[in-house]
């Protein structure tokens, strides 16, 4: 079987550097919030074009932290796509807020700015919930339409979160999502474009006060600068807010420093792989991905569409080619989320896409030879 994502090839490339980085952590023993954590945050902020980065335990907590820091909760509406990974809507009810599902654009699978505008207006007109924030997703690695989404958010007076778990490193007109969003979040789950060897996540922001409040929240609401000092006690045991335990392990930070060093090159390699797929698959009876004008995708996934998606997947499997379906059931149709509100007009695009999408093997180390085999196998299928 061809690997769907080849993490071993990446590891082989940097194994000595990883071994040395891990050995340094074992030698100094600062397993929690050791020096690599702050060093990685500095490098990550620079890579993402933001003033600050705050690491945390996973990409889900990275979404929850800004919502909590903004004190979004009961009575608030947070708008998000339904055609996404569960983590995107999941954090909203954690805070007591209500997710409102909004449809996507058919070409890019990302949030539809007009549908978003209409949904916010409808919620405000109804009057039961206060529109508070939007979580846009850089699905499959490509930037959402941030200029238009940010215009809607500013005009409607709501915060904008960029869920860049799949898209960290993507750009639009040469600029990273933080140029438009209040915060950018990402995940270091191993299969993401920038992954570690376990769980990890981060929030990027240009807002120092927000960073400080999230720093408090990730360590049980510890007292931070600006919180009332209580008689010179150890700030670690002074709790200024109800927080959580969401730290990035020092070992993972050390590993991520080595992976970040080759990340820009890997994004370039992903462009070449995507271009070979696009050239080879043009004309086969399916659609290849469209990227927003001016956008650079990190190609977390290479997703084609076929009307006999399941037939194509079975055919490829029989040829030793793995595929995956992201996502088979949009979130608004899943049990725990089915009762939450939806934007006016519902989510017809999300529902249609769920039936046709199929992700092909995608990683920076995919060789032309293996890609030719995949392209030939897809082209040979006439479902
Ligand atoms: C993976 C992912 C997350 C969550 O990341 P974890 O690190 O697994 O918690 C959030 N949003 C999207 C779009 C993702 O793909």
Secondary structure (3-state) at 98: strand
- Which residue has its alpha carbon closest to ligand 1 atom 10? 87
pLDDT at site 171: 98
For domain 7-261, give the CATH number: 3.40.640.10
pLDDT of residue 224: 92
What's the distance, CA 35 to chain centroid? 26
> Does the beta carbon of 250 sit less than 6 angstroms from any atom of ligand 1?
no
137 lines ligand 1 (CB under 6 A): yes
User: What are the pLDDT digits (tens) for 269-280?
Assistant: 999 999 999 999
- Residue 66 vs residues 23, 69, 141, 382: alpha-carbon distances, Å: 34, 5, 21, 47
The answer to whether 7-261 and 264-380 have equal CATH topology is no
Q: Ligand 1, atom 2: nearest CA belongs to which residue?
A: 165
Q: What residue's CA is closest to ligand 1, atom 5?
A: 59
- What is the CB neighbour count within 10 angstroms for residue 381? 18
Token couple for 369 = 């030879």
202 lines ligand 1 (CB under 6 A): no
pTM: 0.97
Instruction: Look at residues 344, 342, 349 and name the one whose alpha carbon lies nearest to residue 110.
Output: 349
Task: Please list the ranges in the chain whose pLDDT falls under 70.
Answer: 230-231, 285, 383
Measured distance CA(87)–CA(78) in Å, rounded? 14
Nearest Cα neighbor of 55 from 214, 271, 279, 290 is 214
DSSP state of 334: S
Q: To test ligand 1's pocket by mutation, which of 61, 90, 135, 163 has the most ligand atoms within 8 angstroms of CB?
A: 163
Region of residue 246 (left: phi > 0; alpha: psi -120 to 50; beta: else): beta
Question: Of all atoms in ligand 1, which is nearest to the CA of residue 88?
Answer: 11
Query: Is the CB of 199 inside a 6 Å radius of any atom of ligand 1?
Result: yes
CATH of segment(s) 264-380: 3.90.1150.10
* 160 three-class SS: strand
The predicted structure's pLDDT at residue 297? 98
Domain ranges for the chain: 7-261, 264-380
pLDDT at 136: 98
| Strands annotated E in the chain | 52-56, 76-81, 98-102, 130-137, 159-163, 171-172, 183-187, 201-205, 295-296, 302-305, 357-360
Does residue 189 have its Cβ closer than 6 Å to ligand 1?
yes
C-alpha torsion angle, residues 325, 326, 332, 336 (rounded to 10): 80
For residue range 316-374, list pLDDT tens digits in order. Answer: 999 999 999 999 999 999 999 999 999 999 999 999 999 999 999 999 999 999 999 99
Mutate to test the pocket of ligand 1, among 66, 165, 190, 197 (most ligand atoms within 8 A of CB): 165
Which sign does the torsion angle of CA 70, 75, 80, 83 carry? positive
């Amino acid at each position: 079987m061809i690997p769907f994502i080849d993490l071993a090839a990446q590891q082989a490339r940097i194994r000595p550097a990883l071994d040395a980085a891990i050995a340094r952590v074992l030698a100094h023993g600062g397993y929690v919030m050791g020096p690599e954590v702050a060093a990685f945050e500095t490098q990550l902020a620079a890579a993402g074009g933001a003033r600050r980065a705050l690491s945390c335990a996973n990409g889900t907590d990275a979404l929850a932290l800004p919502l909590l820091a903004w004190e979004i909760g009961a009575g608030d509406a947070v708008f998000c796509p339904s055609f996404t990974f569960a983590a995107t809507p999941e954090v909203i009810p954690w805070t007591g807020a209500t997710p409102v599902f909004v449809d996507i654009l058919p070409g890019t699978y990302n949030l539809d700015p007009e549908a978003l505008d209409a949904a916010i207006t409808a919620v405000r007109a109804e009057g039961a919930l206060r529109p508070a924030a939007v979580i846009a997703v850089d699905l499959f690695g490509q930037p959402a339409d941030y200029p238009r989404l940010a215009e809607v958010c500013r005009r409607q007076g709501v915060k904008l979160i960029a869920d860049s778990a799949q898209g960290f490193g993507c750009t639009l007109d040469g600029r990273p999502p933080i140029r438009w969003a209040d915060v950018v979040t990402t995940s270091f789950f191993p299969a993401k474009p920038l992954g570690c060897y376990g769980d990890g996540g981060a929030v990027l922001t240009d807002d120092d006060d927000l960073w400080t409040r999230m720093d408090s929240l990730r360590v049980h609401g510890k007292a931070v600068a600006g919180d009332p000092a209580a008689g010179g006690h150890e700030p670690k045991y002074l709790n200024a807010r109800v927080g959580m335990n969401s730290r990035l392990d020092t070992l993972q930070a050390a590993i991520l420093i080595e992976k970040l060093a080759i990340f820009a090159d890997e994004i370039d390699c992903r462009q070449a792989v995507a271009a070979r797929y696009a050239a080879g698959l043009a004309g086969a009876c399916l659609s290849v991905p469209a990227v927003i004008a001016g956008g650079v995708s990190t190609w977390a996934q290479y997703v084609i569409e076929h009307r006999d998606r399941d037939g194509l997947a079975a055919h490829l499997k029989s040829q030793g080619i793995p595929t995956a379906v992201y996502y088979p059931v949009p979130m608004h149709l899943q049990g725990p989320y089915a009762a939450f509100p939806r934007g006016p007009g519902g989510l017809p695009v999300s529902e249609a896409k769920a039936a046709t999408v199929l992700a092909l093997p995608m990683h920076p180390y995919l060789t032309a030879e293996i890609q030719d085999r995949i392209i030939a196998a897809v082209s040979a299928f006439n479902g």
